[in-house]
Amino acid sequence: MTLRLHDTATRDVRDFVPLEAGKAGIYVCGLTVQSEPHVGHVRSAVNFDVLRRWLTVSGYDVRFIRNVTDIDDKILAKGEAQGRPWFEIAYRMGRELDKALDAINVLPPTYEPAATGHIPEILELIAQLVARGHAYPAEDGSGDVYFDVRSWPAYGELTRQKVDDMEPEETVADPLVMARKRDPRDFALWKGWKKALEPETAAWPSPYGPGRPGWHIECSAMAAKYLGPAFDIHGGGVDLRFPHHENELAQSRAAGQQFAAYWLHNAWITTAGEKMSKSLGNSLLIPNVLERVRGIELRYYMVSAHYRSHVEFSFEALDEAAKSFRRIESFLDRVPPVVEEVAQRPSRNRLPGAFIAAMDDDLGTPAAIAVIHDTVREGNRILGAGESADAVAASVRAMLDVLGLDPADPAWGSSEAAADGKLSAAVDALVAGLLEERERARADKDWARADAIRDRIAGAGIAVEDTPDGPKWTLAASVEEGS
């Protein structure tokens, strides 16, 4: 069986056939770095990180490009509002995003190109489109350059929309802008510098006068630069299908490129039935969510739904997911730590067949997780029978690793782990004394006293379990109340 993926362009699930055997080129639209990352923002990153890992495990040499849009109207407006340079805003938010993605073990892309670093490539592409008659500079001296939608009959092919069916634009359009366009649906490739409103740092020289790139063109230019005129997979959130991806496709094809062979789109994560707009407040920002659950638990929550399924975010569901994950972890804790060298990414053939089948079926992570739970149960059963479950644990870890969820992966914050280590050594020394006392009481069958000691330890947030090897303590996995 081979990997099958859902392609938005054809609207079906079909075999993934790479353009070049053994290689996979992926371009994912990253974020416009204009505000702090929230739960919604990182879902896309997690979903495509899973795709990337699965392709890698399946033997592909993956080139994974995720761009960052570091200039747009909102970034400029924000800089203006804060009295700071726009590039400072973009850079700072970019770093926030990196931190958030690190916290949930999203691997860095092969390369992360930024729009402002590719002005020459963008201008070259625009020049090609103008030369081919698919783009034109506005004639009103604004310096804008537009893509000529009517010159490209295939326009709308990705989302199967006809230009004439699209929403009447009169409602939104600025008449001044409308006047520059041959068709209201034409979109900007290059935006002329508005001297009165925009800083000089936001303008680059061009044959059409100073200005900056439009939103869509950057992705076409950067995808071509790093992946070539034809590449395998283009990804992003569903909202990007139109207009962004539709426009990218039109630009690149009109310039004579084949562009992406597969289009993948992840669904939204919403709250209270609404999408997470920036106005919803801070509770869903990544650092805040990570005060409630660990990064690995947040990631588990995201991976436990299929990437094309809409998720209604709730802290209750997040807590449930965290508990579910701890079940897996506690099994892993029951077996001796694997001593093997830094676990190199497992190969497909080391994974259970049901897991492979689930992942190959359009990245069926929910079913894949079900296989993990089944395996965990089997492992617990074996341990209960007093036998070694090392092999089972290794299998569980291999599966978790594919999903970026191996608790032993050093990517899960080594500095924190070191601090935790010291702390737990200190706590262990203190708790050990109490536990000895309790063991004496138990030996005397003084249950009241034994339980009193256990209650006291529990009061400090530490749970005690009696195992065949004696008492063990763990931090009680209680979940904080409220949000």
Partner RNA sequence: GGUGGGUUGGCCGAGAGGCGAGGCAACGGACUGCAAAUCCGUGUACACGGGUUCAAAUCCCGUACCCACCUCCA
Nearer to RNA, 215 or 412 (CB): 215
- Closest CA relative to residue 216, chosen from 184, 182, 250, 263: 250
Measured CA to CA, the distance from residue 317 to residue 304 in angstroms comes to 11
Closest separation in Å from C-beta 369 to RNA = 6
Nearer to RNA, 174 or 341 (CB): 174
Closest separation in Å from C-beta 344 to RNA = 27
Measured CA to CA, the distance from residue 420 to residue 412 in angstroms comes to 12
Secondary structure of residue 53 in the 3-state scheme: helix
In Å, how far are 43, 160, 240 from 165, measured between CA atoms? 32, 10, 19
Q: CA 387, 389, 391, 394: dihedral to nearest 10 degrees?
A: -170
Nearer to RNA, 229 or 384 (CB): 384
Closest separation in Å from C-beta 136 to RNA = 18
Beta bridge partners of 463: 474
**In 283-314, which residue ranges form alpha helices assigned H by DSSP?**
286-289, 295-303
Nearer to RNA, 169 or 428 (CB): 169
Nearer to RNA, 225 or 449 (CB): 449
Nearer to RNA, 40 or 113 (CB): 40
Cβ neighbour number for residue 185 with a 10 Å cutoff: 20
Closest separation in Å from C-beta 414 to RNA = 27
Closest separation in Å from C-beta 378 to RNA = 8
- Which tokens belong to 142? 């604004």
- Please provide residue 431's backbone torsions phi and psi, each rounded to the nearest 5 degrees: -70, -35
Closest separation in Å from C-beta 393 to RNA = 13
- Closest CA relative to residue 94, chosen from 120, 66, 118: 66
